Structure 1
Amino acid sequence: MSQQTPRAMTPEDITRIRWISDPQISPDGTRVAFVVTTLSAEKDEYVSHIWVVDTAGGEPRRFTNGPRRDTAPRWSPDGRFLAFLSERDPKKRAQLYVMPADGGEPVCLTDLKRGVSNPVWSPDGTRIAFLSKTGGWDEPEDEEEKKKSKPARVITVMKYKLNGEGFIHDRFSHLFVVPADGSAPPRQITDGEFHDSAPTWSPDGRSLAFVSARHEDRDYDNAADVFIVPAEGGEPRRLTDTAGPVAQPAFSPDGTQIAFLGHRYKNEAGRNMRVWTVPVTGGTPRCLTESLDRTCQPFFVGQGPEWSADGMYLTFAIEDRGDVPLYRVRADGTAPPEPIVTGNRQVTGFSLSRGGLLAFTATDPVNPNEVFVCHADGSGERQLTDLNRAWKQEVALSRPERFTYERAGYTLDCWVMKPFGFSPGRRYPALLNIHGGPATQYGHTFFDEFQVYAGAGYVVIFTNPRGSQGYGEAFCRAVIRDWGGCDYEDVMAGLECALRHCDFIDPERLGVMGGSYGGFLTSWIVGHTDRFKAACSERALNTHYSMFGTSDIGHSFPEMYSGGALPWEDLDWYIQHSPLTYAKHITTPLLIIHSEDDLRCPMEQAEQLFIHLKKMRKEVLFIRFPDENHEMSRSGRPRHRLERFRYILDWFAKHLQPEQVAARARAAVS
């Protein structure tokens, strides 16, 4: 029987992939629980279940069967139970459940109107701490009451809204504790007009550490602190010194130290988040990663350092030239950090067992996330899952080729992906992609968008210009006061690098695209060059001066990247570094995509650019997605994500592949 010829990846393939996340190894190291998410275009929703795989090998098996989303699996200390979050009632937000680890009926422990997040078992397995929001006005359930006017919102702080959540000025996240056997309702542990996060238990179970900003100037800076509060409730005690942002605290096994991520700079962009420890009795925090010029808080990992069971090491992830490896460092600071899980890939989550096994999820450009296990020093690595094996056999995926180029004393990376059906001797249109942030990175990860564009016949080019993470703090901070300067030059130099090395790129059929900061740079590029035949600017920052007062982070983000200048102090910077200022020079056909509930780069950013271009009778298409926020391309409704792909592919086909558009039209007529 002949083997089927692999086909091109299409937008619909995002509904065929099993997206794996959150690997949690059991305390005895025999099993790993993880989350598998699929997208349903038919139901227009995400469905997540918890799966389990044995570390000794064997087929993974589905553990939960909730109708919607089961997430956040957490083993009890004795390994007999799994706690998890589930949206079992379509009218309620995720609640906390506990289920025997060998199977059985889950028991619901909470019924909180605002839902539950971040479950953490107590060391003795009798209680579970979690976060839930309190306060705020609730939409009435009665239909007659819904018709009445809503109360006014009284705003006294700048940090009153958040993308993806809405208004947060009167809703505060706090710690709760509930008995694991369901014998009593949850009890609120912290309170006040503060947002608490990242709870973690002390080894003796008497207290909880968490992160919160409770200082007087919390509305004016990005600093936070690690606090400790009695597990029965009481006044939290501040442990750190409010020097800058902190995140993800973790008690040492002997309970004498707390490790956390942070840096000691208030309101400064592009700083490395480092690994620190501080005594639980208080004192000056000690940095363990000073010699490692990389951030220890990768954008897509979302967790902090983990202690080894003997308290000797801390394991953590970093961003490094397109990779996300795992490192570990001695907790006493006597040796520099060392890499333990490396390669041209990105680790997206990890956990440690008591016996020294390390479970992690990792992805590379042609492999979505799978689950792996190794020893705590990185040796003996084995892959435990291959849930997308059948799909990968069906689809032809493009592996990027890496090139380097020099700019201003830095070595930069550029990647090029060949299109589906590549044939030597032919020339192909190319799409230059620009990442968001700017303090993020492109690199060795499976990115569905790139594979879809390659599948549609495009060469895909991407690079990490100055301002990106993964190349050191100076590189990341090089764009401060220089948005549209060195970053623009680096991206254009990356394009030239690709053209030099790849004679199959047609220099007359180039497109450029990006989202968020990448949207900013796309809008900037087409206002400064007519090199591209078409462009797509998505969820872009187009005007610094209006973002300042309208974005959820507008009160601080432009200030940090302007070098500390406020609009009334240096309005020229805000105007000169805004793409809208140069819209009059745009001749490139431009597709503008934006979400109507975007609070990060508000809709007015897109509206202003669109109206400017229409007034000048330029070729522009404006696509607005209702009921979506800044994360639409990553986590929006499945039908919207598919629709977005269609608009992008149609736009670039019209301008870069007109012969294919004409051929499809002729075929439709015939």
Structure 2
Amino acid sequence: YFLSGRSGSSQVWRAEADGTAPVQVTNLPLDVNAYRLSPDASKVAVSLAVFPDCADLACTVDRNKAVTDDPATGQTYDRMFVRHWDTWNDHTQNHLFVLNVDGSGQPVHVTRGFDGDTPSKPFGDESEFTFTPDNQGVVFSAREAGKSEPWSTNFDLYQVAISAPGQLTNLTDANDAWDTGPVYSPDGRTLAYRAMARPGFEADKYAIFLRDVATGETRQIAADWDRSADSLQWSRDGRTLYTTAGDVGQTRLFSIDVRRGTVIPLTGEGHVSAFQQTPSGFVFAQDSLTRPSELFVKTYRGREMPARITNVNPQLDALAFGEAEQFDFPGWNNETVHGYVIKPANYVEGQKYPVAFLIHGGPQGSFGNGWSYRWNPGTYAGAGYAVVMIDFHGSTGYGQAFTDSISQHWGDRPFEDLQKGWAAAQSKYSFLDGDNACALGASYGGYMINWIAGNWPG
């Protein structure tokens, strides 16, 4: 199953495993933003951008046409968001509808009356909703918009029966912080999800919780693991959860024993962006500073190196990339801080090179061992620059205390790390021409560029 616009709009399609014989599954008058299949594959839940006060999809279609045909472009807003990330609020919300895969019946608007988006805007996806094990309901993560949406992180898990659209049960009302990523165990008895602890703080750690479906009792697992979990998958026997997490400049795949809470890394260097289980192990997408995403396979807990099974960009094999090396140094408060130095492409031993000093945004983010289509250090290395990147205090993947340390210290602590990291790199790598360098950054990185301009003489 996949999304395709080949019919003129984004709809759900299915095909044979080899990609042949594509068949259109949905034929809705609106684009499908995300979808989930029920466990028995008889139903599909889709997210559509609708005007929440509309009684049916035709109403949203007509209102969209009226807006398009209206020569006036003015908008009225009585609450925020007016704009979020790179998109203006057009007064629609992402709502969930359930359809029969065989085309029978009418779409059921299961989130009818809810004032919020599923998936969330702007970065949400299908991991935020799932079917119940009996195929008769949906659990989804969402935040009530109201007047407080821009500063609220109170996403809750709601359950709704397909037979009772709009009648929602809040499963996580006790937590006023972020709850998301619902995933049922293979036997249907346990609901795993991720949750933050501090309301209003978007950069809190995602901990892993298990909810007993019958009793509602909830417990945290791997509470001592100081990393923030991404989306979860159950093993087929229900004894293990798999997830990815940032980890000291890498993004690794981890296994978590559900009973003991033991956490084991399954991959090494690189950035794992997606994974699926196979009968013998995993297939996963992994990229790095020198290669965009490729597919790899690995056995369960095997000690062998992952085997690459794709070569999506063979033309890159003929190109020179700068060699990357991770280093560390004592930063603010004498705590260990990590960074990367990347040699210019076609580096020649003994030569000095101008330096691009890249500063990441967020600020709770990371410039680690991953490929980027926005800020790619390889573009500078390919142009003959050496590159220095520092994961200053506030960065992710080094423990929650490290991430928290930037709060109320947006300028001083990261700035100290950048100065000390710059000095450490100059001392360790003789090919860096520190007198011929430029600092670059966007978002928080741009903020720090201004801070550097006013606080770093010379």
- Which of the five TM-score ranges fits, normalised by the shorter chain? 0.7 to 0.9
Q: Distance in 2 between matches of 1:383 and 1:109?
A: 35
Amino acid across the alignment from 2:336: T
Amino acid across the alignment from 1:363: D
The correspondence of residues 5-404 of structure 1 with structure 2, limited to 5 A, is 83-89=1-7, 92=9, 94-135=10-51, 138-140=63-65, 145-147=69-71, 149-150=72-73, 152-155=75-78, 157-167=79-89, 170-192=91-113, 193-197=115-119, 198-214=128-144, 219=149, 221-234=152-165, 235-240=167-172, 241-281=174-214, 283-297=216-230, 304-332=231-259, 334-341=260-267, 343-353=268-278, 355=279, 357-378=281-302, 382-388=306-312, 390-404=314-328
SS at match of 1:200: strand
Contact kept in structure 1, 2:272 and 2:287, CA below 8 Å: yes
Amino acid across the alignment from 1:122: S
Is 1:527 matched up with 2:445?
A: no
Amino acid across the alignment from 2:89: F
Q: 1:457 to 1:102 in 2, by over 3 A?
A: closer
Q: 1:172 to 1:272 in 2, by over 3 A?
A: same
Offset, 1:336: 2.4
Q: For each residue in 1:576-623, what CA deviation from the matched residue of structure 2 results, as whole angstroms up to 9, or x when unmatched?
A: xxxxxxxxxxxxxxxxxxxxxxxxxxxxxxxxxxxxxxxxxxxxxxxx
Corresponding residue for residue 124 of structure 2: none
Q: Distance in 1 between matches of 2:7 and 2:451?
A: 46
Corresponding residue for residue 412 of structure 1: 337
Amino acid across the alignment from 1:337: V
Offset, 1:370: 0.9
Alignment coverage as a number of residue pairs? 434
Contact kept in structure 1, 2:45 and 2:96, CA below 8 Å: yes
Offset, 1:258: 0.9
Amino acid across the alignment from 1:418: K
Contact kept in structure 2, 1:371 and 1:384, CA below 8 Å: yes
Corresponding residue for residue 370 of structure 2: 445
Structure with more of its chain in helix, by fraction: 1
Q: Distance in 1 between matches of 2:160 and 2:192?
A: 16
Offset, 1:386: 3.1
Q: 1:114 to 1:481 in 2, by over 3 A?
A: farther
Q: Distance in 2 between matches of 1:185 and 1:376?
A: 43
Q: For each residue in 1:102-121, what CA deviation from the matched residue of structure 2 results, as whole angstroms up to 9, or x when unmatched?
A: 55443333344541133211
Offset, 1:179: 1.8
Q: For each residue in 1:504-527, what CA deviation from the matched residue of structure 2 results, as whole angstroms up to 9, or x when unmatched?
A: 111211100011111111121112
Q: Distance in 2 between matches of 1:86 and 1:247?
A: 26
Q: Distance in 1 between matches of 2:211 and 2:146?
A: 23
Offset, 1:388: 4.0
SS at match of 2:309: coil
Is 1:436 matched up with 2:436?
A: no
Q: For each residue in 1:387-423, what CA deviation from the matched residue of structure 2 results, as whole angstroms up to 9, or x when unmatched?
A: 2463232100112122210121311112111112322
Q: 1:372 to 1:104 in 2, by over 3 A?
A: closer
Amino acid across the alignment from 1:165: T
Contact kept in structure 1, 2:108 and 2:162, CA below 8 Å: no
Structure 1 runs of 4+ aligned residues shifted over 6 Å read: none
Q: 1:225 to 1:100 in 2, by over 3 A?
A: same
SS at match of 1:324: strand
Contact kept in structure 2, 1:130 and 1:199, CA below 8 Å: no
Offset, 1:295: 1.2
SS at match of 2:163: coil
Contact kept in structure 1, 2:367 and 2:391, CA below 8 Å: yes
Corresponding residue for residue 122 of structure 2: none
Contact kept in structure 2, 1:352 and 1:376, CA below 8 Å: no
The correspondence of residues 596-607 of structure 1 with structure 2, limited to 5 A, is none
Is 1:487 matched up with 2:414?
A: yes
Q: Distance in 1 between matches of 2:302 and 2:148?
A: 40
Q: 1:330 to 1:425 in 2, by over 3 A?
A: closer
Q: Distance in 2 between matches of 1:525 and 1:142?
A: 46
Q: 1:388 to 1:255 in 2, by over 3 A?
A: closer
Corresponding residue for residue 57 of structure 2: none
Contact kept in structure 1, 2:273 and 2:286, CA below 8 Å: yes
Structure 2: gaps spanning 5 or more residues:
53-59, 120-127
Offset, 1:452: 1.3
Q: 1:364 to 1:183 in 2, by over 3 A?
A: same
Q: 1:141 to 1:106 in 2, by over 3 A?
A: farther
Amino acid across the alignment from 2:380: Y
Larger radius of gyration: 1
The correspondence of residues 554-593 of structure 1 with structure 2, limited to 5 A, is none
Contact kept in structure 2, 1:139 and 1:146, CA below 8 Å: no
Amino acid across the alignment from 2:97: F
Tell me which of the two structures has the higher relative contact order, counting C-alpha pairs closer than 8 angstroms and 6 or more residues apart. 1
Contact kept in structure 2, 1:359 and 1:373, CA below 8 Å: yes
Q: 1:130 to 1:379 in 2, by over 3 A?
A: farther
Contact kept in structure 2, 1:291 and 1:336, CA below 8 Å: no
Amino acid across the alignment from 2:225: L
Amino acid across the alignment from 1:340: L
Q: Distance in 2 between matches of 1:259 and 1:356?
A: 23
* C-alpha RMSD of the superposition: 2.4
Q: Distance in 2 between matches of 1:336 and 1:376?
A: 15
Offset, 1:89: 4.6
Q: Distance in 1 between matches of 2:102 and 2:14?
A: 8
Q: 1:519 to 1:152 in 2, by over 3 A?
A: closer
Task: Tell me the TM-score normalized by structure 1.
Answer: 0.61
Amino acid across the alignment from 2:137: S
SS at match of 1:316: strand
Q: 1:187 to 1:380 in 2, by over 3 A?
A: farther
